[in-house]
Structure 1
Amino acid sequence: MTVLSTTLDKNSEEYQRATAAMEAKLADTDEVFAQLAAAGGERAVARHRDRGKLTARERIELLLDRDTPFLELCPFAAWGSDFPVGASVIGGIGTVSGVECVVLANDPTIAGGTSNPFTLKKQLRIMDIALKNELPFISLVESGGANLPTQSEVFIPGGDSFRRLAELSKAGIPTISLVFGNSTAGGAYLPGMSDHVIMIDGQSKVFLGGPPLVKAATGEISDDESLGGASMHARTSGLADHFAVDEPDALRIGRRVVARLNHRKQGPTPGPAVAPVHSQEELLGIVPEDLKIPFDPRDVIARIVDGSDFDEFKPLYGAGMVTGWGRIHGYPVGIIANAKGVIFSEEAQKTTQFIQIANRQGTPLIFLHNTTGYMVGRSYEEGGIIKHGSMMVNAVSTSTVPHISLLIGSSYGAGHYGMCGRAFDPRFLFTWPSAKSAVMGGAQLADVVTSVAKASAQARGKPIDAETLEVRRAATEKQIDDESLPLFLSGLVYDDGIIDPRDSRTVLGLSLSAIANAPIESDRSYGIFRM
C-alpha cells in the first residue's frame, strides 16, 4: 500500500487560524440551514399542520428507509434573491425500499409551494441528476403553480420540466408522483406525465382549470372534488393509479411502488470500504483563510480516500498538479488536484494524459479545485500555454467517465473550466465554505478595470481623477469578492451544495453510489497520446 503521510501540524498557529476561519464560515452556513429548517415560518407551518398535513421534510423522512442518509441538493438556491432561500422546493438523493432515488418535494408553507425562477433552476438541475445517473424520480406534489408575478421568467422555460419527465420515462427511468394537494393548470401535467400516480382521498386536486376558470370559460358550475379530486381520478378518469386514504398511506404506497420497480444498479460494485488513516476532523484546518497561501492537496486526499492509500501518477512531472488513483467507500476513482494554484503547460499535459487513461479504464474522476488559472506571460505563451491549456479543456470536455468536482480553494478563470467547472457538466459539484470562484480574484479584476479606465482617459486626453479611480477600484474589488463567495454561487444554483469539509468523504461516497446506478461509459476508441 502507498499510504499518504501528512504534513499537518495541528499545534501550529497556521493550523489553528485556518480551523477558526473555517468554523466561522460553517457557522454562517448553519444560519442558512436554520432558515431552511423553519420552512415558511412558525405561523405558516402551524396552519399547514392544522389542515392535518405533514411538512415536506416529514414526508421525505417517512418515504425514505429508516436511518438512511438523504443527500440534499442545491439547498441554498435563491439565497440573496427576493425569494426565500431553498426556492420553495426540497430535493435530494435518498434510499426508498432499498433503491436510491431522486426525491423532489414542493414546500407548500412557502408561498403555497409556487414556482419562481430559482425553483425552476433547482428543479431542472435535480431532474438532470436523475437523468444522468439513471435514478428513479419521485415527486411529492403540492404546489400553487407558477409564481404569477414572475411568469415571464417561469412560463417558457418551465416546459422543460415536462420534457425531462418524458425523457426520463423514455430512458426507462421510473417517474412517480405522490399528489398531496393542488397540482393544477400546467402543474397537472406533472402527474399526467409520470409513470405512477398516487392520489389522496379528499386532499389531492388535479385539474387543468379550477372551478372559477371553468365557469368563466364554459359557464359550467363545479367543485374541486368533482372536477379533479382523487376519487374522480381513481374511479372515472383513470389518472390515479393508486388511491390513498391519507398522507402516511400515500407514502406507504409510494414505497411499495418503488419496491416493485425491479430496479438494478448497472455500474460498478464497490469493494470493501476502509476508513482513512488520518482524521477527517483535521480537514477543517488545511485550507488557509488567505487563499493566496498554498497548501498541499495530498493532505485532503489522505483524509478522504480509503486507507489514505493513493497511487500518484507522474509525481515528479508537472508538480503543480497532483494526479493519481484511490478508492472512496470502495469505489475506484482518479483524483486531479491543484497543488500550486497556477496551471503551467506541464500540468496541463499531465492532466490530459491522466484523463485519457481514466477513460480507458472506465474510472470516475474527482477534481479538487484550488487554481488561479493558467499561467500568463511571454515565455509561457511562447511555450504553448494556450494549446496545452486548450488540450486539457478539450480532454475534460470530451471525457465520458463521470466527473465530480469539489471546490476547496480558489477556482478562477479558465482554470475553473479545465478543472471541470459547472459548465463542463460534472455529475455533481460541491463546495467547501472556504472556496471562491470568479473570472479572477477581486483585487486583480479591480486593477484591470481601473487600468483600462486610466488608459481610456489618457487616450482621450482627459485628466485622471485618482481619488474617483480608487473609489471605483475598491467598489469593484468588493463586488467581485462578494460574488465569488460560496453562498452567492450556491444561490444561483452553480453548485449542488456547500458542505462541511468533514463530510467530504461521505458526500463523495453517496455521489459515487448514485453514479453507479448507471453503467460507466468510457471512450476506448483511441490509444494514449503521450504529450
Structure 2
Amino acid sequence: MTRLTSALDPHEPAYAARRATTLARLAEIGAEHAKALAGGGERYTARHRARGKLLPRERIELLVDPDTPFLELSPLAAWGSEYPVGASMVTGIGVVEGVECVITANDPTVRGGASNPWTLKKALRANEIARVNRLPCIGLVESGGADLPSQKEVFVPGGALFKDLTRLSAAGVPTLAVVFGNSTAGGAYVPGMSDHVVMVKERAKVFLGGPPLVRMATGEQADDESLGGADMHARTSGLADHLAVDEYDALRQARRIVARLNHRKAYADPSAGLPPVYDPEELLGLVPEDLRIPFDPREVVARMVDASDFDEFKPLYGAGLVTGWAELHGWPVGILANAAGVLFSEESQKAAQFIQLANQRDIPLLFLHNTTGYMVGARYEQGGIIKHGAQMINAVANSRVPHLSVLLGASYGAGHYGMCGRAYDPRFLFAWPSAKAAVMGPQQLAGVLSIVARASAAAKGQPYDEDADAALRAAVEGQIEAESLPLFLSGRLYDDGVIDPRDTRTVLGICLSAIHTAPVEGVRGGFGVFRM
C-alpha cells in the first residue's frame, strides 16, 4: 500500500487561523442556505401547512429510503438576483427503493412554486444530470407554471424542460411525476410527458387553462375538478396512472413504482472502502486565506481517498500538478490536483498523458483546482506553452470517462478550462468556501487595466491621473473579488453547490456511485490533433 504521509500540524497558529477563516465562510454560506430552507417565509409556510400539505424537503425525506443521504444540488441558485435564494425548487440525488434517482421538488411557498429564470436553469441542470448518468427522474410537482412577470426569460427556453422529459424516456431513463397541487399551463406537460403519473385526490389540479382562462377564451363555465382534478384524470382522461388518497399515499405509490422499474446499475457496486487514515476535520485549516500562498494537495487527497492510499504518476516531472490513482468509497478514480498555482509545459503534457491513460482504463477523473492559469512570458511562449496547454485542454475536452471537479482555491484563466471547469461538462462540480474563479486574480486584472490606460494616455501625449487610476484599481478589484466568490458563482449555477470541506469524501462518493449507473467507457484514440 502506498499510503500518503502528512506534514500538516493542526496545532500551529497558522493552521488555527486558516481554520477560523474557513468556519467563518461556512457560517456565511449557511446563513444564505437557510434562506432557501425557509422557502417563502413564515407566513406562506404556515398557510401551506394549514392546508394539510408537506413542505418540499419533507416530501423528499418521505420518498427516499430511510437513513440514506440526499445530496442537494444548486441550493444557492438565484443568490444575488432579484429572485429568492434556492429559485423556488429543490433538486438533488437520493436513493429510492435502492435506486439512485434525480429528484426535483417545487416549493409552493415561494410564489406558488412558479418558475423564474433561475428555476428553469436549475431544473435543466437536474435533467442533464439524470440524462448523462442514466438516473431515473422523479418530479414532485406543485407549481403555478411560469412566473408571469418574468415570462420573457422563461417561455422560450422553458420548452426544453418538456423536450428533456421526452428524450429521457426515449433513452430508457424512467421519468415519474407526483402531482400534489397545481400543475397548470405549460406545467401540465410535466405529468403529460412523464412515464408514470401519480395524483393526489382532491388536491392535484392539472389543466392547460384554469377556469378563468377557459371562460375568457371560450365562454365556458367550468370548475377546477371537472377541468383538471385528480379523480377526473384517473377516471376520464387517463392522464393519472395512480390516484392517491393523500400525500403520504402518493409518496408510497411513487416508491412502489421505482421498485418495479427494473432499473439497475450497469456495474456492481464495490465495497465501501476503508476510511482515510487522516481526519477530514483537518481539511478546515488547509487552504490559506491568501490564495497566492501554495499548499500541498496531497494533504487533501490523504483525507479523502480510501485508506489514504495513493499511487502517484510522474511525481518527479511537472511537479506543479499532482496526478495519481486511488479509490474513493471503493470506486477507482484518477486524480489531477494543482500543487503550484501556475501550469507550465511539463504539467500540461503530464496531464494530457494521464487523461489518456484514464480513458484507456475506463477510470473516472477527479480534478482538484488551485491554479492561476498557464505560465506567461517570452521564455515560456518560446517553449511552447500555448501548444502544451492546448494538449491538456484537448485531452480534457475529448475525454469520455466521467469527470468530477472540486474548486479548492484559485481557478483562474485558461487553467480553469484545463482543469475541467463548468464549460467542459464535468458530471459534477463543487466548490469549497475558499474557492475563487475568474479570468484572473483581482489585483492582476486591475493592474492590466491600469497599464493599458497609462499606455493610452502616453500615446495621446496626455498626463495620467494617478488619483483616477487608484480609484479605478480599487473599483475593479472590488468587482472582480465579489464576482469570483463561491456565493456569486453558485448563485449562477456555475457549480453544483458549495460544500463543507469535511463532506468532500461523502459528496464525491455519492457522485461516483451515481455515475456508475451508466457505463463508464473512455475514448480510444478519439482525441484531437496534439500539436508537437
Q: TM-score range by the shorter chain?
A: over 0.9
| Distance across 1 between alignment mates of 2:280 and 2:432 | 14
| Distance across 1 between alignment mates of 2:60 and 2:97 | 13
Deviation per CA, 1:164-222, whole angstroms, max 9, x where unpaired?
11110011000000001111111110100000000111100011111111111111110
Deviation per CA, 1:58-90, whole angstroms, max 9, x where unpaired?
111111111110000000000111110000000
CA contact (8 A) 2:391 2:530 kept: no
Match of 1:15 in 2: 15
Q: Quickly say closer, same or farther: Cα 1:526–1:58, change in 2 above 3 A.
A: closer
Match of 2:459 in 1: 459
Q: Quickly say closer, same or farther: Cα 1:254–1:410, change in 2 above 3 A.
A: same
SS in 1 for 2:24: helix
Match of 2:182 in 1: 182
Match of 2:250 in 1: 250
Match of 1:332 in 2: 332
CA contact (8 A) 2:391 2:531 kept: no
Using the TM superposition, name which of 461-470 and 391-400 deviates more. Answer: 461-470
- Residue identity matched to 2:137: F
Using the TM superposition, name which of 9-18 and 222-231 deviates more. Answer: 9-18
Match of 2:405 in 1: 405
Match of 1:106 in 2: 106
SS in 1 for 2:153: helix
Match of 2:122 in 1: 122
Match of 2:87 in 1: 87
Match of 2:195 in 1: 195
Using the TM superposition, name which of 201-210 and 450-459 deviates more. Answer: 450-459
- Residue identity matched to 2:162: F
| Distance across 1 between alignment mates of 2:473 and 2:149 | 36
- The unaligned stretches of length 5 or more in structure 1 are none
After superposition, where does 1:257-272 map in structure 2 within 5 Å? 257-267=257-267, 269-272=269-272
Match of 1:343 in 2: 343
After superposition, where does 1:41-440 map in structure 2 within 5 Å? 41-267=41-267, 269-440=269-440
Deviation per CA, 1:270-290, whole angstroms, max 9, x where unpaired?
244101011111111111111
Match of 2:493 in 1: 493
- Residue identity matched to 2:126: I
TM-score, normalised by the number of residues in structure 2 = 0.98
| Distance across 2 between alignment mates of 1:317 and 1:143 | 55
CA contact (8 A) 1:353 1:530 kept: no
CA contact (8 A) 2:133 2:518 kept: yes
- Residue identity matched to 1:434: S
Deviation per CA, 1:393-414, whole angstroms, max 9, x where unpaired?
0000000000000000000000
CA contact (8 A) 1:353 1:529 kept: no
CA contact (8 A) 1:268 1:520 kept: no
> Once the 2 structures are TM-superposed, how far is the Cα of residue 144 of structure 1 from its aligned partner?
1.1
Deviation per CA, 1:47-67, whole angstroms, max 9, x where unpaired?
001111111111111111111
> Once the 2 structures are TM-superposed, how far is the Cα of residue 529 of structure 1 from its aligned partner?
9.1
SS in 2 for 1:287: coil
> Once the 2 structures are TM-superposed, how far is the Cα of residue 40 of structure 1 from its aligned partner?
1.2
- The unaligned stretches of length 5 or more in structure 2 are none
Deviation per CA, 1:105-163, whole angstroms, max 9, x where unpaired?
00000111111111111111111001010000000000111111111111000001111
Deviation per CA, 1:470-515, whole angstroms, max 9, x where unpaired?
1011000000000000000000000000000000000000000000
| Distance across 2 between alignment mates of 1:283 and 1:80 | 28
| Distance across 2 between alignment mates of 1:526 and 1:406 | 26
Match of 1:38 in 2: 38
TM-score, normalised by the number of residues in structure 1 = 0.98
- Residue identity matched to 1:243: L
CA contact (8 A) 1:267 1:515 kept: no
Deviation per CA, 1:370-411, whole angstroms, max 9, x where unpaired?
000000000100000000000000000000000000000000
Q: How many residues align?
A: 531
SS in 1 for 2:405: strand
| Distance across 2 between alignment mates of 1:374 and 1:458 | 30
| Distance across 1 between alignment mates of 2:175 and 2:7 | 48
